[in-house]
């Protein structure tokens, strides 16, 4: 502790470091991750969580956070939930936290930046810690897509719709995927080949047990759709990976959005999924004082905007913006978790940025695992840090596109080598 405090003081007296040396430096005021766990990801409408409510899923995961961290819940000052579809999310997170065992002195809130909501929640908690507003908090992302409501057909005032980009915010996600495919000539074959690789990587990872240290079992109730009989089940594994998936099998699937194009399908797009993931964050000095294991350092995150009609390419803008802030290049990054909302945008981002595919989505991505909207940002942290530990690699980059034309990216340094 004394050594780290001395290093912190010396860092202010010596020339500013840049690049890898700067982000890997350890200081008492660093924001660190001491726990990163998630639920299994279940198929929407027909999987193990189809009859589970969002509040119970959040409650169950928060109980696991308390159990696995062995931290006095009174130490947690704030909890932030990333969620997209539930209008009662702010009520839900507060009630679920109280029921899970957090005291009424632990505050709670919800945020919604569509598919980046989990990363946004992480950023919000981390920013509070770095500013000294709190010392410890939990970021959680959760989504029950099985309970998703219907999309409002025309949510904007007619004067707003006179601006084309504002009107484009209403485009269905499938349409934006077809826009990317057409505008940047991402062929159906390229998309199917990318999707096949995602499935095959997820299958390999699942068979090898690579997900086991990031998943916590969740016990819930499932109702038989025919008999109405209810039974208790414990989910332990992701339901999305379809073992044996090949390019040939994917190439036979019909287009999912024929009104807009013929390249995106149910096989090369992210799955409708239920799930949640949580990240426990605190100051490094607090973690050391409380004997909490330091898994990683939170370095930072950023967001950017772009044309709504091609929202999928958001990571291609957010990633360079984030790396530029820390004087890094993609060569400095060891593991990349890029959300596979659609194969169209994933292929574009890989090509546009020159990403080494061998270090991106090593365990498969949202096409194979699923994309529970609000949970993806925190799920990527859980998966990415676990993969960093497995490979004994240091620097993790996460990124995703965001509906209405945005992109976000986050940066972490694994400290379990």
Q: Show which residues are catalytic.
A: 115, 371, 401
Tell me how far apart the alpha carbons of residues 56 and 216 are, in angstroms, rounded to a whole number.
15
DSSP per-residue string spanning 122-156: HHHHHHHHHTTS-SEEEEEEEEEGGG--PPPS--S
Tell me how far apart the alpha carbons of residues 413 and 224 are, in angstroms, rounded to a whole number.
44
As a dihedral over the C-alpha atoms of residue 260, residue 264, residue 266, residue 268, rounded to 10 degrees, the angle is -170
User: What is the CB-side half-sphere exposure of residue 198 using CA atoms within 13 A?
Assistant: 30
Run of H or E residues at 377? helix 376-391
Tell me how far apart the alpha carbons of residues 110 and 176 are, in angstroms, rounded to a whole number.
27
Tell me how far apart the alpha carbons of residues 58 and 391 are, in angstroms, rounded to a whole number.
30
b/e per residue, 266-302, with b = 16+ CB within 10 A?
ebbbbbbbbbbbbbbbbbbbbbeebebebbbbbbbbb
């Amino acid at each position: 502790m004394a050594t780290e405090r001395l290093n912190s003081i010396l860092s202010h007296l010596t020339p500013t470091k840049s690049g890898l040396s700067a982000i890997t430096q350890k200081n008492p005021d660093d924001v660190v991750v001491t726990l990163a766990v998630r639920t299994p990801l279940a198929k929407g409408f027909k999987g193990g969580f189809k009859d589970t409510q969002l509040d119970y899923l959040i409650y169950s995961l928060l109980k696991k956070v308390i159990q696995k961290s062995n931290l006095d819940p009174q130490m947690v000052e704030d909890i932030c939930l990333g969620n997209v579809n539930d209008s009662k999310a702010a009520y839900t997170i507060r009630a679920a936290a109280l029921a899970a065992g957090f005291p009424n002195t632990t505050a709670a809130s919800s945020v919604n930046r569509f598919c980046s909501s989990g990363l946004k929640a992480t950023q919000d908690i981390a920013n509070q810690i770095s500013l000294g507003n709190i010392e410890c908090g939990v970021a959680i992302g959760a989504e029950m897509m099985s309970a998703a409501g219907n999309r409002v057909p025309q949510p904007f005032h007619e004067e707003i719709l006179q601006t084309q980009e504002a009107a484009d915010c209403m485009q269905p996600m499938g349409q934006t995927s077809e826009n990317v495919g057409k505008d940047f000539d991402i062929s159906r074959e390229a998309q199917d080949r990318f999707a096949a690789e995602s499935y095959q990587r997820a299958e390999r990872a699942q068979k090898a047990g690579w997900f086991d240290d990031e998943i916590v079992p969740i016990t819930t109730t499932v109702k038989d759709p025919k008999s109405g009989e209810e039974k208790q089940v414990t989910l332990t594994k992701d339901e999305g990976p379809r073992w044996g998936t090949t390019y040939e099998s994917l190439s036979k699937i019909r287009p999912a959005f024929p009104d807009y194009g013929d390249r995106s399908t149910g096989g090369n797009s992210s799955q409708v999924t239920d799930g949640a993931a949580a990240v426990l964050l605190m100051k490094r000095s607090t973690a050391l004082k409380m004997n909490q294991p330091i898994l990683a350092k939170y370095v930072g995150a950023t967001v950017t905007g772009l044309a709504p009609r091609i929202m999928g390419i958001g990571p291609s803008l957010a990633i360079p913006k984030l790396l530029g802030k820390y004087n890094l290049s993609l060569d400095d990054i060891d593991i990349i978790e890029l959300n596979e909302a659609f194969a169209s945008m994933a292929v574009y981002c890989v090509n546009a940025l020159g990403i080494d595919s061998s270090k991106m989505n090593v365990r498969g991505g949202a096409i194979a695992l699923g994309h529970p909207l609000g949970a993806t940002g925190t799920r990527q942290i859980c998966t990415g840090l676990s993969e960093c530990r497995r490979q004994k690699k240091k620097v993790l980059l996460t990124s995703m596109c965001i509906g209405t034309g945005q992109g976000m990216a986050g940066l972490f340094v694994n400290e379990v080598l």
